[in-house]
Amino acid sequence: MERTSNTSIVFFNQKAYNALIEKVSNVAKRGDPEATEDINLIKHATDSFHGYVQTIDMTETRVKIARYRCETEEFQEIAKEADRARRIAHEAAISNCAILNRVCKFYGIPENVYLGNTDARYQVADFYLEVTIALFQAARC
């Protein structure tokens, strides 16, 4: 399968992400219960970034190892399960991209957090990798 995204294109709008967190947090601090729930949505989406990247990494590693250690039938089963896990993780990733962008719109953030097309699977994957790297780098500072 040919990769359709370009890694030089940025899909993560960190400025919008930071603005979203600040805006929703401020509204939640004023006691709005819906904003508190929106904070939980953002947290869930953010937590899923690492999980998505980890799922892809683990399934790829498992398939590579199985190719050399398993008989054909067992390898095919492992590859099938890996594809299933990746598909589930990817569907969740798409949903979380859409959720973040909807929450941005709801709170009047003029730009989306996810700048890509949710139908473009490699753009979603690149977005998740970009977010993971950005959050990791921010934590190191």
Strand partners, 12: 114
Q: Rg of the chain's alpha carbons, rounded to an integer?
A: 18
DSSP characters for 17-86?
A: HHHHHHHHHHHHHTT-HHHHHHHHHHHHHHHHHHHHHHHHHHHHHHHHHHHHHS-HHHHHHHHHHHHHHH
Per-residue pLDDT of the chain (141 residues; tens, 9 = 90+): 334 445 578 999 999 999 999 999 999 999 999 999 999 999 999 888 888 889 999 999 999 999 999 999 999 999 999 999 999 999 999 999 999 999 999 999 999 999 999 989 899 989 988 998 888 888 876
Q: Where are the domains of the chain?
A: 14-22+32-140
